[in-house]
Structure 1
């Protein structure tokens, strides 16, 4: 009999969540090793950071830049060289935190009048001071807030790195676009803990919701998972993983 995702989710939600989830050892050095990283991760994180600051999605078909604040006495000064070296802009906005804290950089979202200007902004960028600033295209969005989620998982089986990567990717793919997977090691030894960065934006596909006991199909296991915005734990157990009957 075929098991549906709704049945899998129901089983996971009914399971007890271990109280002995992975915790860093205060007396040992935690080594983080990237197991998988998508090529466009830096661009995805920049878009995510800009949307998080704005608390809304970026506009469609715009170009996003990030500039060093020290190159300008006022961020709006960048509009001059952008127009002079790339072309007329239909509109633009400065993006920086509103809490008064200096991050050393600020971002600009701009839409150019001509497509050629947008292409040049991405391929060549603009020279300012000793830096060459290149833009990245914003993704088309449906107006939803950013959906980049970092999850922490404990109880991953011990396997060769290549097999481990493939099985984690296969298991997490139903929950979103996998952007990064990292293993956590204590004193150089993998203890079954990983972190993963997942883009759950519905414009990227149809995904299953994350839950505290997450199903990993490669091993037929439910594993304890934590992430920001997670539902509260219902109860605790010493079991690290539970197999589907």
Structure 2
């Protein structure tokens, strides 16, 4: 039984004291594949070091996180372009829009999102979308960029059934993590109406730990708690959830 964590920030400072143990705990739990989203250029070196330490298990992305879009966003995108010539990446992510914390860079966020989608299309790579308080804005850009060359994952999906179906219509899988286990998470109320072929698992570690770890540091090993919740939602075995969601991740990332 192989599980795939399609979104985990294992290079985060939150793991500086016990990173090796955290990864080994996850592998022991059955999580064999870890897809590592970027934030900005300051983390590039630590991401590559993580891959060197666990070369059979780590798959890197490159991208500029929307909350890190500032005045220098064009320099950051130039860094992405440069890294694509130097290193193997499996997606452009995480990219998108976040209007929860700060709306002062909304235009730059839109432009950075568009530019990175176009890079992904050119490189024939999937995108991994971060969307917070910005469904309309994200969908507006996806509508303009839609086509066979646009595909990927709508990370940490927390929207409505209608928004889920709209995301799927743009060739996106839904990244389902700890929110599905929350009492007020809401997505568990309609998720069984979404075909499992559209679902991938994620933790977003160290953030959004599932129940019963809510409020604590999240770890990739806790992906099993998310899988267990999905097994109950879909009335399937946890082995089925592991196999289907891992196959879905292979369809997106090509590995």
Query: TM-score, length-normalised on structure 2?
Result: 0.24
Higher relative contact order (CA 8 A, sep 6+): 1
Q: Of Structure 1 and Structure 2, which has the larger fraction of its residues in strand?
A: 1
Q: TM-score, normalised by structure 1?
A: 0.24
Whose Rg is larger? 1
Report which of the two has the higher share of helix: 2
